[in-house]
Structure 1
């Protein structure tokens, strides 16, 4: 699996986290808006901005008396509120007034010094007193009391500041906590939902050409994915049926092929000796070998119980069996062993077939001259070498492909070396092509040694 492939699991986690963040944000905003509207959370009053502008405009002169400086903020409030009025007092009773204060507030003085902030107004008895706000605040002149009207609007900057305070003090911590909880909980939930798929993936990894009947489990598979699993199981069933038909066909053909080949060999035995008989004999051997190779391909599809196999004994038996064929083709067969026994674990019939194919390959392509040497050693396994033209470097990677033959060579069917490679693979070994001692080809077949 490529790392660039999208992950369905993390896609679900990310989408779930994103949707939860949106819903929680909307919910938090609705709660904050409701609290704001009822004044339970934060309240923005237009006079707050007026009081702030007035307090920053109050200072003291060299004698310590209160003075008013027309700051830009105060000028902006005067422009927005043509009827702006205010009364400023300090703890000593010094006062600065601006605008025309309503008569009802003209008598306010030290009696309210103990009140931090208050709101006033009245419409009793048919007489309306304009609303006003009184508040003690800090200023460049020290602590002062500001009394002013409540007219005006709240500026956008102040609203954004209040929203920022709400966001960073309440909404952002809620989102952070929710995001952390989601990133921890969502993968657990998704992983649990995908647990049944994990078992299906594990079973799919066991599908092999030698394990017919393997099916993906459907228990606890989510309803949305069940059609896919059932379609895969149907495909596996059809593949098993087709594979069984193919195996029966090849096995039947191989067995039927052996009968006419045996009859042909029997008739050849009655012919007088000569070059033509030798060539015909070699051709019938090739046909018999092809039939055996087809049968061997079928046998490889069945698992075997490993037993102890002596490579020395196997190689010596193959050399003695094929010696007449090698001698008839003008070769000198040679068998060399470095030890009396080299034990491996495997299937004797399969290993013997692999060595036989290597020797027959040397007989067919060794140039009909020199020696065909079979060497057995514990360190290298079985090496079959000839004194022919060898195998080009560029062809050595492809020589084991089924039905592949070297350019210019018409003998053989391209199955023998592929069969050798399959046998080596099933035994945990390998086969490779080397340069022979005298320039020909050398095939080295090695297996893990038995302990």
Structure 2
């Protein structure tokens, strides 16, 4: 499955690309501007100041002298026209090389100057010099010097690259830290709406997603989704009304048909009685589903009392067909719910156990749990989830309609409970309903 692209990653990558292009354009513009300005000529590298400061020492008499250090000698080889003049804190001046007359006039006043950059206009650019403060073995001093020279445009390019790279790295760091936070806050409404969508299930009606917190660009999608939910609700209501109406309309003709068959002495006609009973059961179960859709009535229910009442109603029919039923109350169970729907669910479980599960039915109440067990062949594991589906029958030619266990599941769902199917220790099946007990 193709992985969906991350909006956060795309925003960060897009922002970084935009910042890089902006900084690169600014750096190029900076270079072009200065290359076309009057700031041209050759500039002197800063290293000459440090080399000169370290070469100025004091002799035994305390006089300032210049010692040719290895680095000074190396620099002189690279720049044969090297020169510098240093004015110490006590006013002493030392020089190396030929200081141009145009610059020599500044040497007595070096203590009055903080820094300066001079660029000669003509080759060999010996007038190009820098003035800086330096510190060496002889102490602090002001130095004006000429050493290795470079075109000013190269300085601009280097400076532009350094500045541009620094700015880009800072912006990239800020983007990597700040953009996820910003994106999270911007998408908070979408996250909330997604959580609302995840909580929607097939049993909920009238649910709509929040539109007030989502961005304007996402609102049409949420609005369309809400309209789709509205259409689904309308379709469900229409289907529910149709099923309820059909079930109501079926009851009367089915009841009349059953009465006529019961009154008939024709064996061929009386053989239709099981099929008519199926129609009657189907209409009643459809009406039960309709009642559940309208919402159960909440009330206090004692599961033990309810189980004994249902067993007492069904006992004559079961005994007449050679079956037995027993109610065992381990612990008293009090829940809140609709007694009528739970009675119908328990009736379906007992009838299902009697019809398909042998000749012994045990109803067991243990607190908020209600279970029906039989001594039949049980329900295979592969079938346990499917038997809860509407109109599913393990045996295609069974007399049932396949709505009994589905109705039981819906009753459990409406009461916030759950249904489970297991094997009975003595053979057969156990269908268990777990509800929330009253505090």
For 1:22-421, what aligned pairs fall within 5 Å after superposition?
Answer: 22=20, 25=23, 29=27, 46-49=42-45, 52=48, 74-75=76-77, 77=79, 85-87=81-83, 96=97, 105=100, 112-115=107-110, 119=118, 132-133=127-128, 153=151, 162-163=159-160, 166=163, 171-172=166-167, 176=170, 180=174, 184=178, 187=181, 197=190, 204=197, 207=200, 209=202, 211-216=204-209, 222-270=215-263, 282-338=274-330, 342-367=333-358, 370-378=359-367, 381-406=369-394, 410-421=398-409
Deviation of 1:27 (Å): 8.2
Comparing 219-228 with 62-71, greater Cα deviation is found at: 62-71
Deviation of 1:121 (Å): 7.9
- 8 Å CA contact 1:344, 1:448 repeated in 2: yes
State how far apart, in whole Å, the 2-side matches of 1:373 and 1:73 are. 107
Q: Could you say which residue in structure 1 is the equivalent of 2:89?
A: none
- 8 Å CA contact 2:308, 2:327 repeated in 1: yes
TM-score, with structure 1 as normaliser = 0.70
State how far apart, in whole Å, the 1-side matches of 2:129 and 2:169 are. 38
- 8 Å CA contact 1:433, 1:443 repeated in 2: yes
State how far apart, in whole Å, the 1-side matches of 2:50 and 2:315 are. 119
Shift in alpha-carbon separation, 1:359–1:5, aligned structure 2, 3 A: same
- 8 Å CA contact 1:386, 1:442 repeated in 2: yes
- 8 Å CA contact 1:372, 1:385 repeated in 2: yes
Deviation of 1:303 (Å): 1.9
- 8 Å CA contact 2:326, 2:362 repeated in 1: yes
- 8 Å CA contact 1:293, 1:416 repeated in 2: yes
Deviation of 1:323 (Å): 2.7
**Structure 2 unpaired stretches of 5+:** 60-64, 87-91
**Structure 1 unpaired stretches of 5+:** 78-83, 124-128
State how far apart, in whole Å, the 2-side matches of 1:426 and 1:405 are. 23
1:410-432 deviations in whole A, cap 9, x for unaligned?
33232211211121121122222
Task: Give SS of 2:151's match.
Answer: coil
Comparing 193-202 with 264-273, greater Cα deviation is found at: 193-202
Deviation of 1:192 (Å): 6.6
The one of 430, 433, 436 aligned to 2:424: 436
1:329-355 deviations in whole A, cap 9, x for unaligned?
33123334446x632211111101110
Shift in alpha-carbon separation, 1:195–1:95, aligned structure 2, 3 A: closer
Shift in alpha-carbon separation, 1:39–1:275, aligned structure 2, 3 A: same
Task: Give SS of 1:422's match.
Answer: helix
State how far apart, in whole Å, the 1-side matches of 2:259 and 2:121 are. 133
- 8 Å CA contact 1:46, 1:150 repeated in 2: no
State how far apart, in whole Å, the 2-side matches of 1:132 and 1:375 are. 110
Deviation of 1:119 (Å): 5.0
Q: Could you say which residue in structure 2 is the equivalent of 1:450?
A: 438
State how far apart, in whole Å, the 2-side matches of 1:75 and 1:193 are. 63
Deviation of 1:399 (Å): 2.7
Comparing 105-114 with 425-434, greater Cα deviation is found at: 105-114
1:78-116 deviations in whole A, cap 9, x for unaligned?
xxxxxx74556676767545xxx9xxx479869834436
- 8 Å CA contact 1:403, 1:414 repeated in 2: yes
- 8 Å CA contact 1:47, 1:149 repeated in 2: no
State how far apart, in whole Å, the 2-side matches of 1:348 and 1:203 are. 32
Deviation of 1:160 (Å): 6.4
- 8 Å CA contact 2:371, 2:430 repeated in 1: yes
TM-score, with structure 2 as normaliser = 0.71
Deviation of 1:234 (Å): 2.9
Shift in alpha-carbon separation, 1:165–1:11, aligned structure 2, 3 A: closer
- 8 Å CA contact 2:423, 2:429 repeated in 1: yes
- 8 Å CA contact 2:48, 2:146 repeated in 1: no
How many residue pairs match? The answer is 417
Deviation of 1:149 (Å): 9.5
State how far apart, in whole Å, the 2-side matches of 1:107 and 1:243 are. 99
